[in-house]
Amino acid sequence: MNTLKQFNQFTASLPQSDNMPALFMGHGSPMNGIELNEFSTSWANVAKSIPVPKSILVVSAHWFTRGTKITAMDFPPTIHDFGGFPQALFDVQYPAPGNSGLAHETAQLIKSAHVELNHDWGLDHGAWTVIRHMYPQADIPVLQLSIDYTKGAAYHYDLAKEIATLRKEGVLILGSGNMVHNLRMLSWEMINGGGYDWAMEASEKFKTAILNKDHQKLINYEKMGAEVNLAVPTPEHYLPLMYILGLQNDTEAVNLFNDKAVGGSLTMTSVVVG
């Protein structure tokens, strides 16, 4: 199924809710931040299909820390945390404001951990490459919540529940990573589309569990088989999904879009809860 058809099905089934939808975005290559392609177009269209958020809280694969931190500066810098790409990508600035009040509120909501208010990070490419297509005016405050690398998937899933009330306040919580993400096995021959058999098998397992709301299986992903262990050789790109699933309540629907494999060993599959 092409990504445009997926998006149209997603918008047609989007329910009305008091909660702001929660999103997991497969962000893929940093080049998606400056390219107008099927993925970035869907990101822009998603933004048009949901209420305008008051603030955005991003859980990015690229802020992996000991302990939990949240950006609390007034103007988070744009971080170019990659190498080997065209200068045009390094030239991008996304000058969205921060929201120190929301940073303090979020830190207070989280009881399972001490949350450090951070003034040194900013917006990494897991955040700005996606959000600049969604909200190009950069006029909505953006914060990042780090992923504590000392904790497992269940911890992050449960932590998300502690901040669920932010959705009622108009905060868009966005996880940014990739469900299947094994760059060591990347195939340039399939860079524009296609996946190894193991990657497609892992993707189908993930999607079936998501659509069936079988969160425990996804939390215990290491037990889902050899293909899943190939798909998730390290957890940082997978764990943002735990936050979005942790935010889903019993009555909320879940939909997929941008469901495509690229480079053999990476999927762009994205999830909306709400």
- For the stretch 175-214, what's the b/e string if a residue is b when 16 or more beta carbons lie within 10 angstroms of its beta carbon? bbbbbbbbeeeeeeebeeeebbebbbbbbebbbebbeeee
For residues 264 and 8, is the Cβ–Cβ distance under 8 A?
Answer: no
End-to-end CA distance of the chain: 22
Averaged pLDDT, 179-193: 96
Burial of 105 (0-12, 13-18, 19+ CB in 10 A): middle
Does the pLDDT of residue 1 top 70, yes or no? no
Q: Chain-centre distance of CA 59, in angstroms?
A: 6
Which comes out higher in pLDDT, residue 12 or 150? 150
Helix (H, G, I), strand (E, B) or coil at 148: strand
The string of pLDDT tens digits covering residues 207-259 is 999 999 999 999 999 999 999 999 999 999 999 999 999 999 999 999 999 99
Q: Tell me: the pLDDT tens digits for 57-99? A: 999 999 999 999 999 999 999 999 999 999 999 999 999 999 9
Contact 14, 45 (CB under 8 A): no
Superfamily for domain range 3-273:
LigB-like (3.40.830.10)
pLDDT of residue 15: 47
Neighbouring residues of 21: CB distance < 8 A, sequence distance ≥ 6 = 14, 50, 172, 272, 273, 274
DSSP tag of 182: -
Domain boundaries, the chain: 3-273
Which of 109, 85, 231, 120 has its CA nearest to residue 171? Answer: 109
How far is 33 from 35, CA to CA, in rounded Å?
A: 6
Burial bucket for residue 265 (CB in 10 Å: 0-12, 13-18, 19+): buried
The 8-class DSSP code of residue 223 comes to: G
Q: Does residue 183 carry a pLDDT above 70? A: yes
What percentage of residues in the chain have a pLDDT greater than 90? 93
> Which amino acid belongs to residue 204?
E
pLDDT at 141 over 80: yes
